[in-house]
């Protein structure tokens, strides 16, 4: 997603916008940013009316959530392409927007944080808002006619949009039933290609999994269809093995390595990833293996320590359909007891909070034998990963946090203990 925004930033100056509707103003962007924490108010902003990619939303809440995601991704895209110190000239645009509209700091507070005059902060905010308006103008032009670069005949935007529509109803589903239905669907293809599909799992062995039923069913069909079409040995083996809090579905078949096989495997892995399902593929010694890792009905518990409701809502949206249960606590003074008693699988920790800052929370969690093994991800506008690492944090993310970074950090922290 970041590369998409960077391209738009480079080309936006070359686009000749014919009317006002093609170029959101700084004032309209400012109005929307002020309503980031209120999705209904955000959906009723003038900016929501201008952007055509929001018009298909089924409700005000959905329109507001889409616009908020677009704004947050745009803010992230204003950051430097290479790491730069917090508050530096290169990162100033993303820093002031994040502090003011995401962290909800006042201009005097930002001035103190960045060691700038209030007038300079005001100038930086107005400049950053103009840049964001230009990015959104480019995104609108993209949605209104320009097409993304195709991959395998389909655009990345088309795939993401299609998956977003499909995978909206995650729940506990029967993997055994979905596997049986997928086998029934591909049976005519297997017969036509003289390929036998051998199943090494029984319904009694397989627990329910957390997934969108329609999406997982389609993914299993596509995996089996690919295996049957490229199978060179006449035999496709389908296995399902239970791991801790996960089930690994594996499709194994003999192949002749070709560029087309590689492309199809990559497309299937990208499709799975877009739907929040981990997929691994390998081709070696004339055999191909395709694996899907699915969560069982036991949800991972994520404790989000954050006093900003907008950030909490963002993390909830990122975790939708993943099997992660998000519990938020706005008061850092309550964290140690919650971790000690409730045993969350991972803690997502902000630093700048009232009463007790995140550094002291992290120190106490890692010093106590009762809580020191709980993984902690620090998410903050403060740029100090070295201190976070020294205090024992397993990961450090700089706000604003995009979904791929957030989910990647969660998976790394949960690791083998959660079967990810």
Q: Give pLDDT, residue 391.
A: 95
Rounded distance between C-alpha atoms, residue 31 and residue 128, angstroms: 14
Rounded distance between C-alpha atoms, residue 118 and residue 205, angstroms: 64
Rounded distance between C-alpha atoms, residue 253 and residue 238, angstroms: 9
What the chain holds in terms of domains, given with CATH numbers, is: 2-148 (no CATH), 172-295 (3.30.565.10), 300-418 (3.40.50.2300)
Q: β-strands 346-349, 376-380: how paired?
A: parallel
355 φ/ψ sector (left φ>0, alpha ψ -120 to 50, else beta): left
Q: Decide: helix, strand or coil at residue 58.
A: coil
DSSP string, 195-235: -EEEEE--GGGPPPEEEEHHHHHHHHHHHHHHHHHH-SSSE
Whether residue 205 contacts residue 221, with contact meaning beta carbons closer than 8 Å, is answered with: no
Residues 6+ apart with CB under 8 A from 184: none
Structure token pair of residue 199: 């199943």
Tens of pLDDT along the chain (420 residues)? 444 444 334 333 333 333 344 567 888 899 999 988 887 888 888 888 877 667 666 688 888 888 888 888 888 778 776 666 777 787 888 889 988 888 788 999 898 888 888 888 999 999 999 888 887 776 555 444 443 333 334 444 445 445 544 444 566 788 999 999 999 999 999 999 999 999 988 777 788 887 778 889 999 999 999 999 999 999 999 999 887 668 899 999 999 999 999 999 999 988 887 777 888 899 998 999 999 988 776 667 899 999 888 888 888 888 876 668 889 999 999 998 899 888 888 999 999 988 899 999 999 999 999 899 899 999 998 889 999 999 999 999 988 888 888 888 888 887 634 434
Q: Give the Cβ contact number of residue 32 at 10 Å.
A: 29
Kindly state the helix (H) or strand (E) to which residue 293 belongs, with its residue range. strand 287-295
Structure token pair of residue 349: 């920790």
Cβ neighbourhood burial of 117 (10 Å; 0-12, 13-18, 19+): exposed
Q: Which residue reads 């106590």 in tokens?
A: 368
Strand positions, DSSP E, 111-169: 150-151, 154-155
CA atoms within a 13 Å half-sphere pointing along the CA-CB vector of 319: 22
Kindly state the helix (H) or strand (E) to which residue 363 belongs, with its residue range. helix 358-367
Q: Which residue reads 């992230």 in tokens?
A: 76
pTM: 0.44
Identify any residues that bridge with 378 across adjacent strands, giving them in sequence order.
Answer: 349, 396
Structure token pair of residue 399: 């706000």
């Amino acid at each position: 997603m970041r590369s998409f925004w960077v391209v738009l930033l480079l080309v936006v100056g070359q686009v000749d916008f014919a009317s006002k509707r093609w170029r959101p103003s700084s004032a309209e962007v400012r109005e929307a940013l002020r309503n980031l924490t209120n999705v209904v108010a955000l959906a009723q902003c003038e900016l929501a009316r201008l952007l055509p990619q929001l018009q298909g939303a089924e409700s005000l809440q959905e329109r507001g959530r889409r616009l908020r995601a677009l704004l947050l991704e745009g803010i992230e895209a204003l950051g430097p392409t290479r790491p730069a110190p917090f508050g530096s000239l290169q990162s100033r645009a993303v820093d002031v927007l994040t502090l003011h509209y995401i962290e909800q700091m006042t201009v005097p507070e930002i001035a103190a944080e960045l060691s700038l005059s209030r007038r300079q902060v005001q100038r930086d905010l107005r400049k950053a808002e103009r840049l964001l308006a230009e990015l959104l103008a480019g995104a609108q032009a993209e949605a209104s006619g320009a097409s993304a670069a195709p991959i395998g005949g389909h655009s990345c935007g088309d795939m993401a949009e299609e998956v977003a529509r499909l995978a909206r109803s995650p729940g506990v589903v029967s993997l055994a039933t979905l596997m049986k239905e997928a086998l029934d669907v591909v049976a005519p293809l297997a017969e036509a290609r003289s390929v036998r599909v051998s199943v090494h799992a029984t319904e009694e062995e397989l627990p329910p999994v957390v997934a969108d039923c329609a999406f997982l069913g389609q993914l299993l069909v596509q995996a089996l269809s690919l295996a049957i079409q490229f199978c060179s040995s006449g035999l496709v083996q389908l296995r399902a093995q239970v791991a801790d809090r996960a089930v690994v579905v594996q499709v194994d078949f003999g192949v002749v390595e070709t560029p087309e096989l590689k492309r199809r495997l990559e497309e299937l892995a990208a499709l799975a990833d877009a739907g929040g399902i981990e997929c691994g593929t390998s081709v070696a010694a004339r055999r191909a293996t395709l694996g899907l890792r699915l969560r069982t009905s036991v949800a991972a518990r994520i404790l989000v320590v954050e006093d900003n409701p907008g950030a909490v809502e963002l993390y909830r949206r990122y975790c939708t359909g993943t099997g992660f249960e998000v519990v938020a606590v706005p008061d850092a003074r309550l964290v140690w007891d919650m971790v000690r008693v409730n045993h969350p699988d991972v803690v997502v920790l902000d630093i700048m909070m009232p009463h007790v800052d995140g550094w002291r929370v992290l120190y106490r969690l890692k010093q106590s034998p009762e809580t020191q093994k709980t993984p902690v991800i620090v998410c903050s506008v403060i740029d100090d990963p070295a201190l976070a690492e020294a205090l024992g944090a397993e990961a450090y993310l700089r706000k604003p946090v995009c979904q791929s970074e957030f989910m990647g950090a969660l998976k790394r922290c949960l690791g083998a203990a959660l079967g990810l």
